[in-house]
Structure formats: structure tokens, C-alpha cells
Structure 1
Amino acid sequence: MTSLSDALKLVDEKRIIELSKQVIEIPSVTGEEKAVMEHAKKLLEGMGIHVEGYGSEDRPILCACINPEAEKQLIFNGHLDVVQIAKPDAWTKNPWKPIVEEGKLYGRGSSDMKASCAVMIHLLEILKKLDLPISVGVHLVPDEEKGAAAGSKILVDKIVVGEVRRPDYVVIGEQSNLQVRVAERGMFGYQVKFNGRAAHTAASRVNGINAIAKAS
């Protein structure tokens, strides 16, 4: 049986930086994730790891897994899309040319969250060499920055209907200052309509209905 110390001995920080740079230097603004997803798939398959594809051709979702027949499964989830660069001139580094300076990795997506995805890829790379008691997988998705409708939501829907295995444990690799967080804020939108009735100002208190007053 593999121990945690056995796995930790195989962790290669230089390899993580190398993988991080590879995905950072591929621009993948939300809606334009195809190239970085194709590269991630090539990396995983090059490690001998089977990859299932979901989503659309232009916005693929990658599900990679080792030891898939095990009774329990742990999944790591991460997104490879990044937000647009609103003010390129404000950058002191080229956002698409990753560089390490003074122990820090610079580049668009290095924090949110391509470096984390690189760690996940490396995790499968090293765990594939070990005797694991459980299945471990990685879900790499697009469209996190704009609501996840073309990313994680598709996976959740497929899990619900049984097209994708329901994992027993899930780790979302978003930045958390190395703290384990068990919940995250969500988003809920709604519309409320207030009906009024127009009236002459002289008789508004008698015949009119002020929709603004009702809303407040």
C-alpha cells in the first residue's frame, strides 16, 4: 500500500513550474479555451493517462483518471480559462510569457488557476506510478469565469444522469491561502415587478399607485 510519504518523495517542483509555464503561455480567455485544453489533453495522454472528453469541440472538458475501477474516487477540479486583460499597459511583465522572479511565478492565470491545474496534472503523473487504494482523477473545465454553464455545470448534469461517475470526494483547486474551505458563495438572480397606476397629481393620493414607493 502506498503511503503519503511515498507520494511526496516523487513531487518535482521544477516539473510543476514547467507545466505551469506551458499552460500559462497559451492564451485562454473565457470562450477561447480550445488550444489550452488540447495541450492539457496531450500532456495527460503522454503520461499514459486515459482522458474522456465532454462539452463542445471548441470548448472541451477533460476528465482524466487513474485506477478507475477502485471502489472510492477522489476528483480534483480546476478551470483553464482566464479573464480578459483589461489594461495591458498596467502589467510590468508580459502576461503570456510566464517568468519566475524572486520565487514568484508571473503570468495571466498563474494564480487563478493554471498553476493549480498544473499541480493536478503532475499529481496524476506521479500517482500513476504508485499502488493506490482509490481512484484519483482530474476534471479540467472551461467557462469558470463567466458562470460555468459550458464547464462544470455540464459535468454536474452528466453526473446526475449517470453519464459521468459520481465522485466520493472532490477538491476544487482554487486559491485559498492553503486553508481548507468547505463552502463558497454562489449567485442567485431574480426579477421583481411592481405595478403602479398613473394619476393626475391633484388626485394621485386617491387614485394613483406609486410603484416606486411600493418597491422601497
Structure 2
Amino acid sequence: MKKQLLERVESDVEEIIDFLQGLIKKKSSNPPGDTREAISYVSKFLEEREIEHRILRPDKEKPNIVSKIEFEKPGRNLTLNGHVDVFPVSDTEAWKHDPWSGVLENGRIYGRGACDMKAGVTALVYTFIILSELSEKLSGSITLTVVSDEETGGRLGSGWLIENIPEVRGDCCINAEPSSPHTIRFGEKGILWFKVSIHAPGAHGAYTHLSFLSPLFHTHLSSNPIKIAAKIISDLENLKNLPVKHPKTLAETLKEGRQEAEIALGSGGFNVMSNISVNFGVINGGIKKQHDT
């Protein structure tokens, strides 16, 4: 069967490239996150091949596609997962080609999302179609999920599907993210995002040393929020020192892939994979308010 599948892919390679170029042309930056054109493009392609599917809309501008095929014999369910939203284009002049052109030049396809991850979505869609034609030789089922919200957290994409559509919960999931050209990744760390807001009454910068004075001086006495933020950042950095205990099989597998991890992620990449990492993102400060005297 492997030979048959590879031959089929080779015979369809021009069509596959054409599909990808067309998908890149559908603008789907997130934010703002309007991916209706891209989802409609994939939906029309499935319709033309008589593949039944549903379009689910947790948000009118962020629809998701779900399609499931049951094979002849009972078995486990494989879920294919990819997203059509892409990171925004900040400077079109910096591009060799129009980022929404999908130009093919010297064996490379240029465009926003060509890598992350419209090429992956293309691979998943064609995998789904080809396997659907071999249902008599396969067991179990296969579910295709093409989602609209990944770049901003996935709350209305894969996250919403998992919470609301039970059939997408496969025994195994293949996600075609371009995480590494060196190795197939089999999992990912959990994530905890949080926002810290620090408020203080404010004070005149010349009198910050007068903290021992009476409350009568409260108009110019205040803790400095910037110093508080710096202390919080310093303390959070210590999270990286917490010990992480992996299950034996996972620890062994990670160890086996150490060399590839260092190649793919650079020196220290293995430690990032196997331990807690901490990142500080956007820092915003308030504006100085003007008061009438």
C-alpha cells in the first residue's frame, strides 16, 4: 500500500502545488482573524470531490471544517489537524514577491503561510482524500479538522472543537505544523499564560525616599510599579529551576532525540524541550495623567 500511496502523490503533484498556491492567495491574517475565504476555498475543494464535511462557526469570521470517514473495518480514529490562519504581514516591501501571490520560483513557493501552515493543510487535505479512496483496505476512521484560530491561541479553533465536537478527539492526532525539518515531533509542553497588572497611587519622583513620613504626605509617596514589576520578573525566572520529572518512556525518548533537538533548535534546545521555560512578552506602562490645580 505504501508504494501505491507514494505513486498517487507523485501523479497528483501538480494539482497539489496548484491547490497550495490558491490557498496562499486567500488572505487570512490573524489578527484580525477573518479566514472565511480560506475555509471556503478548502470547503469547495472537498465538495468537488464529494467529501461530506461540516462548517462550524463559533465565530462568524472564524469557521472550522470537520469531516470524518469510517473505514470498512472497526478500529481507532486518526485525527488530522491544521490551521489556515497566518501571522500578519507587517512590511510587504520586505518580500521578494507579493506575500499573497503563492509564486513558484526555482522549486520554492513564496507567500505568507506557505510554511506555517498552508503547506501542512494541503498535505492533510490530500492525505484525507487519498485515504478515503482506500477505505476497503483500512480499519477504523479518519477525521479531518481545518481550523481558523491558531495564531492567537486556538480558543475558537482546535480548542473549541475539542470542547464541543467529540468526534475530533482521535486516538492519535497528526498536526502538520512546520515545527522542525529534522524530526517528527510527538508531543508538546503545556502552557500557562497570564497577565500581571501593577497599580500604585503615584508620587513625585523627588520624594520617593520619604516613605517614613506621615500619611499627610501621601500625595507624593508611592511604591514604584516598575521596581515591583522587575522583582516579579526576577522571581518568575526561578520557575526554570523547578525539577521536572518525566515518565520513564518519555524521558528515554527525549534523551534519544537530544542530538536532533540541538541541531533543530540550536545549542540548549534540548533543555528547553525537557524543562520549564519562561518568557516575558509585552510590557505596557500607563501615561502620566494631567490634573487641574
Residue matched to 2:81: 77
User: What SS class does the counterpart of residue 55 from structure 2 fall into?
Assistant: strand
Match of 2:2 in 1: 4
Structure 2 unaligned spans of 5+? 216-220, 232-293
Question: Given the alignment of the two structures, is residue 88 of structure 1 paired with residue 92 of structure 2, yes or no?
Answer: yes
Specify the alignment match of 2:158 in structure 1: 152
Distance 1:109 1:200 in 2: 51
* Aligned pair partner of 2:62 in 50, 59, 64: 59
Distance 1:139 1:21 in 2: 20
Q: Count matched residues.
A: 211
Q: Tell me the distance in 2 between the aligned counterparts of 1:98 and 1:139.
A: 23
Alpha-carbon deviation of 1:81? Answer: 0.8
Shift of 1:5: 2.6
Larger radius of gyration: 2
The DSSP-based 3-state class of the residue aligned with 1:105 is: strand
Q: How much has 1:57 moved relative to structure 2?
A: 3.5
Q: Confirm whether residue 169 of structure 1 aligns to residue 172 of structure 2.
A: yes
Counterpart amino acid of residue 180 in structure 1: I
Structure 1 distance, partners of 2:22, 2:56, is: 23
Quick check: 1:141 aligned with 2:141? no
Which residue of the partner structure matches residue 22 of structure 1? 22
After superposition, residues 109-124 of structure 1 pair within 5 angstroms as 109-124=113-128
Q: CA deviation at 1:85?
A: 1.1
Map residues 176-195 of structure 1 onto 2, 5 A cutoff: 176-181=180-185, 182-184=187-189, 186-191=191-196
Report the Cα distance in structure 2 between the residues aligned to 1:112 and 1:187, rounded to whole angstroms: 23
Letter in 2 for 1:204: F
Render the CA deviation track for 1:180-201: whole Å, top value 9, x for unaligned: 11215634114376889x9984
Are 2:62 and 1:48 equivalent residues in the alignment? Answer: no
More displaced 10-residue stretch of structure 1: 103-112 or 62-71: 62-71
| Residue matched to 2:261 | none
- How far apart are residue 52 of structure 1 and its match? 1.8
Paired amino acid for 1:82:
V
Partners of 2:145 and 2:168 within 8 A in 1: no
Aligned to 2:38: 36
Q: Tell me the distance in 1 between the aligned counterparts of 2:67 and 2:172.
A: 15
1:132 aligned partner = 138
- Counterpart of 1:71 in 2: which secondary structure? strand
* Superposed CA RMSD: 2.8
Runs of 4+ in 1 over 4 A off after TM superposition: 192-196, 198-203, 205-215
Percent of aligned positions that are identical: 27
Q: Residues 200, 127 of structure 1: CA spacing in aligned structure 2 closer, same or farther, 3 A cutoff?
A: closer
Gaps of 5+ in 1: none
Using a 3 Å threshold, how does the CA distance of structure 1 residues 44 and 89 change in structure 2: closer, same or farther? Answer: same
Distance in 2, matches of 1:203 and 1:171, equals: 59
Q: Deviations over 1:28-57 (max 9, x none)?
A: 112210011011011112112111222234
Give the aligned residue type for 1:66: I
Partner of 2:212: 204
Residues 195 and 77 of structure 1, relative CA distance in 2, 3 Å threshold: same
TM-score (norm 2): 0.63
Q: 2:78 is paired with a residue of what secondary structure?
A: strand
The two structures have a TM-score, normalised by structure 1, of: 0.84
The one-letter code of the counterpart of 1:120 is: L
Q: Looking at both structures, which has the greater relative contact order when contacts are Cα pairs under 8 Å and sequence separation is at least 6? A: 1
Q: Which amino acid aligns with 2:194?
A: G
Shift of 1:27: 1.1
